């Protein structure tokens, strides 16, 4: 048989509103946090997929192995969190379970800079959007200046480079920007600095 994925470097936990709706569980941020807490405590619920029992068990076993790897800090926990409440919930989960955590696409990190530094939580910054105020860029630059590691996430490389350039204009060092666009960004999310 052929192995498609040799190693999983990160596991994504979604606390943003993108994963909440009234048609399915969890429909609230509190429900998302409870679900993640239960999964990290080993109390995750079985899958509700309509699949043969053997496949359901294989999926559950795979999820347990991935969670163990996250808890042992072998796998980075990526927390998608946008709002202040979502960011606070992600930080609390990272601290409680002593995870190697990274925030993905947070909107305003300034109130959390001290916690991010204390817990060594990095940030994957989304590209700057047309409607963004200076506060988004200024906040990320302030976090970087304070020592928070930042990587640039985007589906188009020019978006990441543009965001890095705007952060440099706001005070981020050239070295930190280059690091976030290259091997530093890869290392932040748990990948090795060199590909094998």
Task: Please give the chain's pLDDT, 196 residues, in tens.
Answer: 454 456 778 999 999 988 887 777 788 999 999 989 998 998 866 656 677 888 777 878 888 889 999 999 999 999 999 999 999 999 999 999 999 999 999 999 999 999 999 999 999 999 998 888 899 999 999 999 999 999 999 888 899 999 999 999 999 999 999 999 999 998 998 887 665 5
User: Phi/psi of residue 28, each to 5°?
Assistant: -140, 160
pLDDT at position 85 is 97
Return all residues near 10 (Cβ < 8 A) that are at least 6 apart.
Answer: 75, 76, 77, 78, 102, 189, 190
Q: Locate 152 and state its tokens.
A: 């640039």
**Alpha helices, H only, the chain:** 29-40, 53-71, 84-97, 113-118, 134-145, 157-169, 174-181, 183-188
Q: Left if phi > 0, otherwise alpha if psi is -120 to 50, otherwise beta: which for 120?
A: left
Does the bond joining 26 to the residue before it have cis omega, within 30 degrees of 0?
yes
pTM of the model: 0.89
Q: Which of 105, 70, 63, 69 is nearest to 87 (CA)?
A: 105
Q: How far apart are CA 193 and CA 182, in angstroms?
A: 9
């Amino acid at each position: 048989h052929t192995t498609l994925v040799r190693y999983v470097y990160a596991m994504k936990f979604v606390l943003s509103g993108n994963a909440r709706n009234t048609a399915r569980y969890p429909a609230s941020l509190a429900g998302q946090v409870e679900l993640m807490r239960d999964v990290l405590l080993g109390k995750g619920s079985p899958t509700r997929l309509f699949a043969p029992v053997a496949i359901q068990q294989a999926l559950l076993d795979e999820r347990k192995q991935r969670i163990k790897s996250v808890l042992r800090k072998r796998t980075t926990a990526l927390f998608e969190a946008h709002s202040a409440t979502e960011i606070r919930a992600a930080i609390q989960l990272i601290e409680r379970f002593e995870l190697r955590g990274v925030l993905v696409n947070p909107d305003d990190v300034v109130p959390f800079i001290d916690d991010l530094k204390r817990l060594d939580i990095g940030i994957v910054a989304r590209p700057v959007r047309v409607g963004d105020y200076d506060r988004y860029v200024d906040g990320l630059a302030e976090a970087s200046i304070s020592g928070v590691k930042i990587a640039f996430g985007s589906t188009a490389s020019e978006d990441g480079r543009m965001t890095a350039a705007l952060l440099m204009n706001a005070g981020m060092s050239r070295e930190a920007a280059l690091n976030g666009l290259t091997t530093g960004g890869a290392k932040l999310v748990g990948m090795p600095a060199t590909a094998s």
